[in-house]
Amino acid sequence: MEDSRLKKIEELRRRGINPYPYRFEISDFIGNVRKRFEREVPEGLRVRVRGKAKRVSRTEEGFMVRLSDEENVEILVFTKEEGLKPGEVYTFEGVLSRVEGKLSLVDAKLSEGEVESIKEIKSRFDSDPQNKEVSLAGRLVSLRSMGKAIFGHIQDLTGRIQIYVKKDVVGEEEFRLFNEIFDLGDIIGVKGKLFRTQTGELTVEVQSFRLLAKCLHPLPEKWHGLKDVEIRYRQRYLDLIANPDSRRTFLLRSRLISELRRFLDKKGFVEVETPILQPVASGANAKPFVTYHNYLEMNLYLRIAPELYLKRLIVGGFPRVYELGRNFRNEGVDRTHNPEFTMVEFYAAYWDYRDLMSFTEELLTYLLEKVVGKLKISYEGKELDFTPPFRRVRYFDLLKEKTGKDKEFFLRDLEGLKALAKELEIPNYEKLTHAKLLDKVFERVAEEDLVQPTFVIDFPKLLSPLAKTHREDTDLVERFELIVATYEIANAYTELNDPTDQKERFLQQLKEKEMGDEEAMEIDEDFIRALEYGMPPTAGEGIGIDRLVMLLTDTDTIRDVILFPHMRPQ
RNA sequence: GGGCUGGUAGCUCAGCCGGCAGAGCAGCGGACUCUUAAUCCGCAGGUCGCGGGUUCGAAUCCCGCCCAGCCCA
């Protein structure tokens, strides 16, 4: 911790100022204030401007130029043009956008010809705040002292705004106080009038200010942000303070979840909460975390899926239910796996898996339109097109296309399948059960190049102990997975509601377990009893939220979409 | 579990063929009433991840460990 900052706290207390006061009345969040005076720029609007380069700075990919007209009105220009010099006059053409709220020209190229005035463009999109009184609070993230006036920026989750503290306005004593007590990183509240500076930036002329919380540590670097991934995950608060991309990702995640709820609610689904501590961890193929209940003197398991409980609710007469929440799987951590992850599972009585396919298309297009505003997104350099209908391909058709072998081969020729697995260099292939072997071969040959949203349908029965037998082929079940950019985003089926069949499938799982598949599913006797009371025809689906957020934010690491990913203690 | 890469100031990074521990930002002092990666003058800042070894001398070479990332299992 910084000694000088601790001393300032002592100094404040001596002056009778509480460095950690109780409340501060804000008139609005910073982003909302900005929105009132900043019109949205239509997408793809190209403009050409001329001005003097006041500063040229290098960015990750190119340069940022502060371009200023004769009246000192400024616009930011992002360009890849080399060799630009401060003080020179340039003409740029580019796409008008807002970057951190500021009007900017992006993808700009040097150009010639008729130009629009910077001032005129800005006045079209940035309106005069007319000295509106505001009361704002946020973290002090920059400070530029000019002697008898100080500029700085304060930031909250919604945005950033410039503050201007003038000796004339606040008075000599308060001005000195501001200089003496504030450090970068402090949380402060300001009251004052909005105006625009000569360069056109929306600014609060501060009339009074107040320290709301002292920051005892220096902040990460203002320009490069916080890059060290270890610190970003261990001290996410610092990541959120320093990196706007990170704030954007988690805001998008929140919006997605809220829109998902809105959509399901609108469609008549009822949100429910089922046990996270379960006496039997079933409903998926995975190893559970074990915990111990002292009072009951028994082991309990953190759920690996809520499926069997949600179907009990269908039996109980809830026709449409969903649960959005955390599942836990006791396995390794890597780019696409975190031991706890978020899924939504929803079940609709009287539907089958075909109903769910069109429902999924509707759901995803709704979410994309609400959250990113378009159906074509870019992921790892590829364009993903979510315009329905999505491609549908049958499981064994896909395998046949990739390997030339048919369903009979994969289901009845175990030796042949082993030989194929060997050829594909699938590790430990000799130890795998038939079901696992098939699963691995499919992953290896089929999933790898499923980039555009694709429903893989009609899975083999031996991989799907909870799905209903296919109405046209008893080797298969009525199941689909939605695969996008090689990730499994959704998994769904017509639910098995015949208790006798279900019992047999569980017994088959028991055999798989005995043959060494540690992830084979556990029998849940009460679930079978529930089915015996009669579950209507039902279709159910699970969607992995973390991976969906990864797609929408063009992120290749699950840790970047989970606020506090699991790390080994330091 | 295996392989590779990394860990140096609060942050971003250089230094690594052994020889005084470096820069920018942040910080501290000073100048400056439209600055915005402000500018200008000056100053301070280190368990070089941890432990051991080699050496006259180790951030640098060797061994072990910890943490992280990537790849593989």
Q: In this predicted model, what pLDDT tens digit does every residue of A109-161 receive, in sequence order?
A: 999 999 999 999 999 999 999 999 999 999 999 999 999 999 999 999 999 99
State whether the Cα torsion A565-A568-A569-A570 is positive or negative. negative
Our measurement of the distance from residue A23's CA atom to the centroid of its chain's CA atoms, rounded to an integer in Å, reads 31
CA of A113 to C1' of B42 (A): 48
Tokens of residue A363, six digits: 């759901």
Determine the nucleotide nearest to A102 by Cα–C1' distance.
Answer: B36
Alpha-carbon torsion angle A179, A184, A185, A189, nearest 10 = 40
Specify the pLDDT at position A568. Answer: 87
The Å distance, CA of A483 to C1' of B43, is 60
Q: What is the nearest nucleotide to A149, using C1' and CA? A: B33
Instruction: Indicate yes or no: strand B within 7 A of the C-beta of A52.
Output: no
Mean residue pLDDT of chain A comes to 94
Per-residue tokens: A296: 């009951």
CA distance to A240, A300, A467, A479, A496, per residue, from A522 (Å): 41, 14, 15, 20, 16
Q: How many CA atoms lie within 13 A of A230 on its CB side?
A: 3
The answer to whether the beta carbon of residue A448 comes closer than 7 angstroms to any atom of strand B is no
* Closest residue (Cα, C1') to B45: A2
The answer, yes or no, to whether residue A1 has pLDDT greater than 70, is: no
Helices (H), A433-497: 434-445
CB-contacted nucleotides of strand B (7 Å): 6, 10-13, 24-28, 31-39, 66-73
Q: How confident is the model at residue A30 (pLDDT cuts 50, 70, 90)?
A: very high
- Taking the C1' atom of every nucleotide in all shown strands and the CA of A230, the nearest one is B68
Q: What confidence tens digit (pLDDT) does each residue in A474-517 have? A: 999 999 999 999 999 999 999 999 999 999 999 999 999 998 88
The nucleotide lying nearest A200 (C-alpha to C1') is B34
Each residue of A53-65: b (16+ CB within 10 Å) or e? Answer: beebeeeeeebeb
Per the structure, the residues numbered 111 to 170 in protein chain A that have their CB within 7 angstroms of any atom of strand B are 142-149, 151, 153, 162, 166-168
Nearest by Cα to A45 from A107, A102, A87, A90: A107
pLDDT at A83: 84
Q: CA triplet A192, A198, A201: central angle to 5 degrees? A: 60
Mean pLDDT of A514-522: 89
Query: What tens digit of pLDDT does each residue of A323-356 get?
Result: 999 999 998 888 999 999 999 999 999 999 999 9
Averaged pLDDT for residues A300-322: 97
Q: Which residue has the tokens 């072997």?
A: A437
What is the per-residue pLDDT for A431? Answer: 84
Q: Determine the nucleotide nearest to A151 by Cα–C1' distance.
A: B35
pLDDT exceeds cutoff 70 at A468: yes
Using the structure, give the distance in angstroms from the CA atom of A228 to the C1' atom of B16, rounded to a whole number: 21
Cβ contact A220 with chain B strand, < 7 A? yes
Of residues A28, A37, A36, A39, the one with CA closest to residue A156: A28
Measured CA A222 to C1' B14 distance, in angstroms:
19
**Residue in A378, A344, A291 with CA at minimum distance from that of residue A554:** A378
Average pLDDT score over residue span A276-305: 95
Question: How distant is C1' of B42 from CA of A69, in Å?
Answer: 36
CA distances from residue A476 to A380, A395, A457, A463, A517 in whole angstroms, order as listed: 34, 10, 10, 9, 21
A295 CB contact with strand B at below 7 Å: no
Point out the nucleotide closest to A568 (alpha carbon to C1′): B67
Q: What's the pLDDT at A550? A: 97
Contacts of A172-176 spanning 24+ positions with Cβ under 8 A = A174/A208, A174/A209, A175/A148
* A223 strand B contact, CB < 7 Å: yes
Among A442, A495, A456, A469, which Cα is nearest to A357's?
A456
**Nearest nucleotide over every DNA/RNA strand to the A182 CA, judged by C1':** B27
- pLDDT at A43 > cutoff 90: no
Other CB atoms closer than 10 Å to residue A120's CB: what's the count? Answer: 12
Angle between helices A172-181 and A3-14 (to 10 degrees): 140
A337 Cβ contacts chain B strand, under 7 Å:
no
A227 touches strand B (CB under 7 A): yes
State which residue has its Cα closest to the C1' atom of B73: A427
* CA of A64: nucleotide with nearest C1': B37
Question: Nearest-CA residue to the C1' of B49?
Answer: A570
| Spatial distance from the CA of A236 to the C1' of B6 (Å) | 21
Across all strands, nucleotide nearest A224 (CA–C1'): B12
Under 8 Å between Cβ of A518 and A287: yes
Q: b/e for A497-528, b at 16 or more Cβ within 10 A?
A: bebeebbebbebbeebbeeebeebbbbbeebe
User: Cβ-count burial of A117 within 10 angstroms (0-12 exposed, 13-18 middle, 19+ buried)?
Assistant: middle
Q: Which residues from 340-359 of A have any strand B atom under 7 Å from their CB? A: none
Helices A353-371, A545-553: axis angle to 10 degrees equals 40
| CA A8 / C1′ B28 distance in Å | 13
